[in-house]
Amino acid sequence: MSATSTMLYDHPGPRARIRNRLLTVGFSLLTAALLWYVYVQFDEKGQWAPALWKPFLKSATWIDFILPGLWGTISAAAVAMVLALAFGVIFSVGRLSAHAAVSVPAGVVVEFCRAVPLLLMIFFLSYGVPFITGAPFPAFWAVVIGLTLYNGSVLAEAFRAGIRAVPAGQSEAGYALGLRKSQVMTHILVPQAARSMLPVIVSQLVVLLKDTALGYIIAYPELLQQGVNVLSANYGNVMQAAIVVAAIYIAINSVLTWFAGWLDRRTTRTGRTTVRIAPVQDLGTAAA
């Protein structure tokens, strides 16, 4: 480990250490000054007044506004995460197909979903589809499908890059064992690609969770809609509600990132194999 670290990273010398410490102190002071400036500006505008923060000490605020919005965000994000991962795997494999009848349509779908803004997708599903079907489209599914199409297409490209990054010897070994291409893809390439692309997958899922806030454009009762728009309309504390909701988003994303780190460590331990070598018997003993 130390040899690898030395090859990849040169340890700083005395001057570099002094420079790094000075930069650290300078950025720390700059950050503290910026936070103090924000605090003073808020204080001058009366944004730290207890009356504006008092509603968050009431159970009715959480039961009527924040918790229902949090449930709307988590439920839409959870369904969209599962569908987006499935979408990404299926279309990444489709783009890698040797048959043009499969790879070309899969590429068109992925590129189209990546090119169209997510907000426009949600808006079209909510207000455009009813003109075609003649029936209202549920806000929940408008948000979920929009998140699935956009984030799934991004994940499809990530999976495709991860599959191509797997050494060619892996698939060649699978073919040598008599596996079909579908078996090589599902049993060898996709699991390794998913493990190597885990940081990218997690970052995209965090983006997906935050993008549920775009549901406010169609009045979907998610955290931003309920915890900021509706709540501040009742108590007149927009900034305070936004700060509380931002803290909730940070907490959820931190839990998701921690879970991804735990999953990565667990899969790394599981992927290691221990080879036990049986002791070789003495020839004389074996002959006896």
- Domain parsing of the chain, residue ranges: 73-222
Number of C-alpha atoms within 13 angstroms, CB side, residue 240? Answer: 22
| 66 Cβ contact partners less than 8 Å away, ≥ 6 residues apart | 223, 226, 227, 231, 244, 245, 248
pLDDT score of 270:
60
pLDDT score of 8:
53
Distance, CA of 48 to CA of 39 (rounded, Å): 9
What number is the average pLDDT over the span 153-157?
A: 93
- The 3-state DSSP class for residue 12 equals coil
Q: Which CATH fold topology does 73-222 show?
A: MetI-like fold (1.10.3720)
Output the DSSP codes for 24-36.
Answer: HHHHHHHHHHHHH
Residue 282 pLDDT > 80: no
Q: Where are the beta strands (DSSP E) in 70-209?
A: none
Q: What is the dihedral of CA 260, 266, 272, 274, to 10 degrees?
A: 180
Q: How confident is the model at residue 9 (pLDDT cuts 50, 70, 90)?
A: low
Q: How confident is the model at residue 269 (pLDDT cuts 50, 70, 90)?
A: low
- The 3-state DSSP class for residue 97 equals coil
Q: How confident is the model at residue 5 (pLDDT cuts 50, 70, 90)?
A: very low
pLDDT score of 190:
80
pLDDT score of 6:
47
Lowest pLDDT segment from 22-26, 105-109, 201-205: 201-205
Across the chain, what does the average pLDDT equal? Answer: 85
Tokens, residue 232: 């501040």
pLDDT score of 31:
94
- First CA to last CA across the chain, in angstroms? 46
Lowest pLDDT segment from 207-216, 244-253, 268-277: 268-277
Specify whether the CB–CB gap between 153 and 113 falls below 8 A. yes
CA distances from 152 to 82, 146, 149, 205 (A): 10, 10, 5, 10
Look up the pTM and report it. 0.78
| 215 Cβ contact partners less than 8 Å away, ≥ 6 residues apart | 72, 76, 122, 139, 142, 143, 222, 224, 225
Residue 7 pLDDT > 90: no
What number is the average pLDDT over the span 13-21?
A: 86
Specify whether the CB–CB gap between 188 and 174 falls below 8 A. yes
Q: Where are the beta strands (DSSP E) in 92-239?
A: none
What number is the average pLDDT over the span 167-177?
A: 83
